Amino acid sequence: MTNSETLPTAQMPPARIADNKAAEKQKAAFGSHPTRYAHVVGWGMALPQKLLTNSDLARMVDTTDEWIVSRTGIRQRYVADEKESTATLATQAASNALEMAGIAPSEVDLIIVATATPEHLFPATACLVQDALGCENAGAFDLLAACTGFIYGITLGSQMIRSGANKTVLVIGAETLSRIVNWEDRATCVLFGDGAGAFVLQASDQPGGVLTSFLRSDGSGGEALSVPAGGSKLKTSYDTLRDNLHAIQMNGREVFRFATRVMASAVKTVVDEAGLTLDDIQLVVPHQANTRIIESAAEKLKIPENKFVVTLDKYGNTSSASIPIAICEAFTQGRIKPKDKLVLVGFGGGLTWGATLLEWGTATPKEQTRWNKTQRNARKFLSRLRSFSKRILRMLESAIWGRSAPSGEQPPRTK
């Protein structure tokens, strides 16, 4: 797959069909229409319970509300408590998105969780979400592209749909950055917040949905924004803990310069590739890091600032969750209408950056009747029951077989 895709799809290489079964599936889903589009049919968000204001932070580190607001635009953020985690927030956001789309978890083919704060190195947070939601027919994986993660996720998810491989894909951006922030470092701890946002992408033969995407990276700038320890290079040790190397390290000014350089050009690229002009765009949804970065992009693009969605005053920088959360907010405020063209643009650690142009569809939140709620609760109960019985089965299997493999599958003995 190239990292640059353009409609009309007639110009795209034909989808590769692995076998006849896949071809059958495609035919059943799309009939005689060879062109398929990935539409956003559901969206949802989730926030932790606990609110942390700038004044709260001013009691923790040497900072002021005035400094934070004037340098970043942030007024408050939400932080996870011990019971909340990246997986619980991701599950909640995804469940809200599925619910509003009226789609059952069993219909989901693929779950992509973009996150820089996964629950564990493995298993993937996406697998935990799969289990919690009861998406019994879905593949699941995590994607790490820091704050650009949602743009990468939506690009991959839409390509899976357009290739014919999948029909329904959940793309989630979820973070608990509060867990990797050094709460004594005033230069970073005031910036970040926790939260999650999710999209349900679904195949359609109606033109629209994700139109073009553009992804880029520059690893030479990786040190500008990183968590140095805990991976294969620097394993956890007394020294890494003492030196706070498991927390976010950032050269703020360098990231600032990089962001203002790449944002405008990424927006222009996806608009050009779609054969549109900036005047055709109703809304720009940027990664929420700093209002000054957003203002600079607006100025460079000569787009009025009121066409940009800004939510960082309420949520801070929630990394890969910031764009889907901003879209949920904009929709609730009535700022997004059917057929509107939106550009989503992100940048972050890696360094990575990218943009996606999408045409909003006609999906509206499904009415939540008592019957819907009962169904949802029944589904939740059933997926917990299914997960629990699978665990019990595994325990029984272990008790019966011990550590040996089933007969006929014994590994060869080595001397």
- Which residue's CB is nearer to ligand UT7, number 162 or number 216? 216
- Which residue's CB is nearer to ligand UT7, number 30 or number 256? 256
185 CB contacts (<8 Å, ≥6 apart)? 61, 244, 247
What are the DSSP calls for 75-107, one per residue? -EEEE--TT--HHHHHHHHHHHHHHHHT--GGG
| Chosen residue from 6, 26, 95, 290 binding ligand UT7 by CB under 6 A | 290
259 is an interface residue for ligand UT7 by CB under 6 A: yes
For residue 117, give the DSSP letter: S
| Chosen residue from 190, 196, 229, 285 binding ligand UT7 by CB under 6 A | 190
Q: Which of the residues are catalytic?
A: 147, 287, 317
345 is an interface residue for ligand UT7 by CB under 6 A: no
Q: Which two tokens stand for residue 179?
A: 């867990």
Q: Using alpha carbons, select from 139, 142, 50, 150 the residue that is nearest to residue 87.
A: 142
- Which residue's CB is nearer to ligand UT7, number 102 or number 252? 252
240 CB contacts (<8 Å, ≥6 apart)? 228, 229, 230, 234, 246
222 is an interface residue for ligand UT7 by CB under 6 A: no
261 is an interface residue for ligand UT7 by CB under 6 A: no
147 is an interface residue for ligand UT7 by CB under 6 A: yes
Judged by CB under 6 A, the stretch of 214-222, 251-259, 328-336, 379-387 that binds ligand UT7 is: 251-259
Amino acid letter for position 231: G
- Which residue's CB is nearer to ligand UT7, number 250 or number 267? 250
167 CB contacts (<8 Å, ≥6 apart)? 29, 107, 109, 161, 202, 203
**Burial group, residue 396, by CB count within 10 angstroms (0-12, 13-18, 19+):** exposed
- Which residue's CB is nearer to ligand UT7, number 255 or number 309? 255
72 is an interface residue for ligand UT7 by CB under 6 A: yes
| Chosen residue from 134, 208, 348, 350 binding ligand UT7 by CB under 6 A | 348
383 is an interface residue for ligand UT7 by CB under 6 A: no
Binding mask 314-343 vs ligand UT7 (x if CB under 6 A, - otherwise)?
Answer: ---x--------------------------
Judged by CB under 6 A, the stretch of 26-34, 62-70, 126-134, 360-368 that binds ligand UT7 is: 62-70
217 is an interface residue for ligand UT7 by CB under 6 A: no
Judged by CB under 6 A, the stretch of 25-33, 248-256, 278-286, 378-386 that binds ligand UT7 is: 248-256
Helical H segments across 180-251, by residue range: 186-189, 238-242
Map residue 112 onto helix, strand or coil: strand
Map residue 292 onto helix, strand or coil: helix
Q: Which two tokens stand for residue 319?
A: 């990394």
**Quick check: 119 and 125 in contact, CB under 8 A?**
yes
- Residues of the shown chain interacting with ligand UT7 in the complex, contacts defined by CB under 6 A: 63, 67-68, 71-72, 147, 186-187, 190, 225, 250, 252-253, 255-256, 259, 289-290, 317, 348
